[in-house]
Structure 1
Amino acid sequence: MQNDVAVLKLSRDADYTDYVRPACLWSDAADDNVIGKLGTVIGWDNEKERQIEDTLQEAQMQVIDTFTCISAKPKFYSKVTSTNTLCAGYKNSTYVCNSDSGGGMYFSKTTSRGEVWELRGLISVTLAIRHERCDPYNYVVFSDLAHHKQWLNSVLID
């Protein structure tokens, strides 16, 4: 789980629509601190209803420091966090679930060309509880793409 990142190469170009839009990879250095910032996450899961939604869900989650994350559930989070991960959430049912794995955490940035969305994290793992798929009252661990930029750049070059 320390390097939970994959790249899929499409057999054809994606069709962009109002619902399918491009996002940039994180452009800043890995040490650019996002702790305390709000990232936007999307997914299809609805744990309260125990179903996959027909409508894409969106939420904002605050990135927290690793110490706070591990302190919440040391036996779990100490095994799945590292310098290559981010931890986020509120412990108030604002969450993504395991079926959302691979989805992104995006941050809006204003540039000279206007607003852009940059992908910083990939949903990696959430805490599961007995008889449930995930615990919406605990943090979510994301792979931190800023720590994988060298590898991603080598893979994405044709």
Structure 2
Amino acid sequence: MQQDPIQIGELIEPTPIGFSFGAPGWYVLLGLIFLIGSLVALRIWLQYKRNQYRRDALKHLKLMTTTYYVPTQSNQLAFETVMLLKRITAGLYGRRKVAALRGTQWTELLNKTCKEVSFTPEDAAMLDEILYRPDTVSIQGWVPTFVQKSKIWIRKHEV
């Protein structure tokens, strides 16, 4: 026995629903986009405020470079640069830890906190000479590279 297929008739399709932003899902999506955008903006602003000391230090270093970069005052420029680095490191890593460091110990701390720049043992020796016997040493050729290393350290050190 063979059954006849049932004839239902022609398929009736409903009219399409018009597009509208009035659906509640769009309000949820808009709220999520606003929330994520606000969080991203807040994070960018906090990062900007957190790095304000870097911008201030670089401005100060630029001012010192234009003020002291003459052959007779290169020792003073190096001294001021060292003092700036000391203030930054003392603020970041603790005054007790940083104040006692000198020579290679201090340059090792600088090297550990920034992978982009490396202060050499010669830098450490020159820094000791500048800090503790500033009148006995002439370091005109060494100062520009030290200032450049310091700028890189200020920009890229890890907190």
Bin for the TM-score computed over the shorter chain: under 0.3
Larger Rg: 2
TM-score (norm 2): 0.23
Q: Which has the higher contact order (CA 8 A, sep 6+)?
A: 1
Structure with a larger share of its residues in helix: 2
Structure with a larger share of its residues in strand: 1
TM-score (norm 1): 0.23
